[in-house]
Amino acid sequence: MSVVIETKDLTKTYEAGFFSGQEVHALKNMNLQINTGEIFAYLGPNGSGKTTTIKMMLSLIFPTSGSIEILGRKDIRSSEVKRQIGYLPEGAYYPEFLKGEEVLRFYGQLYGLSGEDLEQRVAKTLDIVSMTYARNRLIRGYSKGMRQRIGLAQALLSDPTILILDEPTTGLDPLARKEMRDILANLRDEGKTLLISSHELQEVELISDRVAIIYRGEMQISGTLTELLTDRDVTIEADSITPAAQAKLEQLNIKAEDITKERSLLHIPSGMSLYDAVEVCKQENINILSVAPRRETLEELFVRTVGDASRAESGKAQPATAAN
Ligand SMILES: Nc1ncnc2c1ncn2[C@@H]1O[C@H](COP(=O)(O)OP(=O)(O)O)[C@@H](O)[C@H]1O
Ligand SMILES: [Mg+2]
C-alpha cells in the first residue's frame, strides 16, 4: 500500500482583516496520509479547516508552513500531478441554462479534450454517475442530487487516479445520498483513491476506510473505523420492564430505557455478562425480543471527540484527551 497524499505539519493562517492585522489560524500542523485505493473521510464541523486543506492540496491557495506531497512528488503545482486529481468543490455551481452534457463538454475542453475523445469521455462519465438519461436536459431542471452527480462527472473527466470531493453529500435527500454513496464506493473498488470531506457522518461511516476528525484546524483523532469505534456493548430489546426488574437491573448496573410504552432497551456494558440480564428478564417474566451487539457510531465518536476538544478549550483545563 502506498501513500498517495501526505501532508507534513501543514499550516494555514489567513489575514482576517487587511487593516486590523488579525489572523485566523485555519489549519495547524496537520499531518495526513491518504493511501492508494481507500476512501479517506476528512471530518469536522463547519469552519474546522477542511476546505482550506483541500484547496492547498489543489494549489488554489498556499500553505503558511508545512508541506504536501502527492504521488510522491513535492511539485504539486505541476500539470502531471494536477492531471491525476479530480475535484468536486463545495457547493459546486453550474450555469442553469446549460444542459448537463454541455457542462461536461465545457470542462472537458478546459482539460484539453476535443473531438471524439471528448465525446467518449463525456459519455463515459455520464454513465459512471448514472446521468445518461438526463444528459440533454437543462441544469435548471436538475435536482440537487443530479447537480452533484454532474459535478462528480466533471471531476472524473480527466480519468484521475485521485478524487477530492468537498462535502459531496451535503444537502442531498436520503435517496440521492444512497446513489452518491454507491457511485463513490464503485470508484474506490475500481482502484481510485478518494478524499471526502464532510460534516455529515452517517453517510461517511457507511463507505469510508479511514477517517480523520479535525476541529478548529487541529487533528483530534484518526484511524480505521475498526480501530476507532471500539466501544462495544450489547443491547437487549424486551417488553416493558417492570419496577421489580428495574430495581434488579439497577443493582447490576444495567441501564434500562423505555423506547415505547411496550418496549424497553437494556444496555449491557462491554465486559459484563449477558446472562445476568437475561436471568432478570426470565425471573420477571419479561419477553426478550432481540439481543444485538452495538458498536459506537461515528457520530457518537465525533460528538465525544469534538465535545472533549471544545470543553478542553473553553475550560482551558487539559488538551483534548482524544488527540493522538
Ligand atoms: N479566505 C479566507 N480568509 C479568512 N479566513 C478564512 C478564509 N477561508 C476560510 N477562512 C476561515 O478559516 C477557517 C476554516 O475554514 P474552512 O477551511 O472553510 O472550514 P471547513 O471547510 O471545515 O468548513 C474558518 O474559521 C474560516 O472562517
Ligand atoms: Mg468547507
Q: At what angle do helices 174-189 and 144-156 cross, to 10 degrees?
A: 20
d(CA 92, CA 105): 16
Q: With contact defined as beta carbons under 8 Å apart, do 152 and 165 qualify?
A: yes
Paired sense of beta strands 232-239 and 218-224, if any: unpaired
% helix / strand / coil in the chain, to the nearest 5?
A: 35, 30, 35
- H/E run at residue 12: strand 3-15
Which residue type does 287 have?
A: N
d(CA 156, CA 86): 6
- H/E run at residue 281: helix 274-283
Q: Tell whether the torsion through CA atoms of 58, 73, 168 and 140 is positive or negative.
A: positive
Between the CA of 162 and the centroid of ligand 1 the distance, in Å, is 24
Domains and CATH numbers, the chain: 3-228 (3.40.50.300), 232-295 (3.30.70.1150)
Between the CA of 211 and the centroid of ligand 2 the distance, in Å, is 16
Nearest CA among 216, 238, 235, 228 for reference residue 299? 228
Write out the chain's pLDDT in tens, 324 residues. Answer: 699 999 999 999 998 776 777 889 999 999 999 999 999 999 998 999 999 999 999 999 999 999 999 999 999 999 999 999 999 999 888 999 999 999 999 999 998 999 999 999 999 999 999 999 999 999 999 999 999 999 999 999 999 999 999 999 888 888 999 999 999 999 999 999 999 999 887 777 788 999 999 999 999 989 998 888 876 788 899 999 999 999 999 998 898 888 888 999 998 887 788 898 999 999 999 999 999 887 778 888 878 777 777 777 666 544 433 333
Is 0.95 topped by the overall pTM? no
d(CA 111, CA 163): 15
Position 1 scores a pLDDT of: 67
d(CA 273, CA 119): 63
pLDDT tens-digit series, residues 4-53: 999 999 999 998 776 777 889 999 999 999 999 999 999 998 999 999 99
pLDDT tens-digit series, residues 51-66: 999 999 999 999 999 9
Q: With contact defined as beta carbons under 8 Å apart, do 192 and 39 qualify?
A: no
Q: Quick one: which ligand is closest to 45's CA?
A: 1
Between the CA of 54 and the centroid of ligand 2 the distance, in Å, is 9
Q: With contact defined as beta carbons under 8 Å apart, do 171 and 181 qualify?
A: no
Query: Using a 6 Å CB cutoff, which residues line ligand 1?
Result: 14, 16, 24, 26, 44, 46-52
Nearest CA to ligand 1 atom 7: 14
Between the CA of 90 and the centroid of ligand 1 the distance, in Å, is 12
Nearest CA to ligand 1 atom 16: 49
Helical segments of 10-60, H only:
50-57
Q: Quick one: which ligand is closest to 55's CA?
A: 1
Nearest CA to ligand 1 atom 24: 47
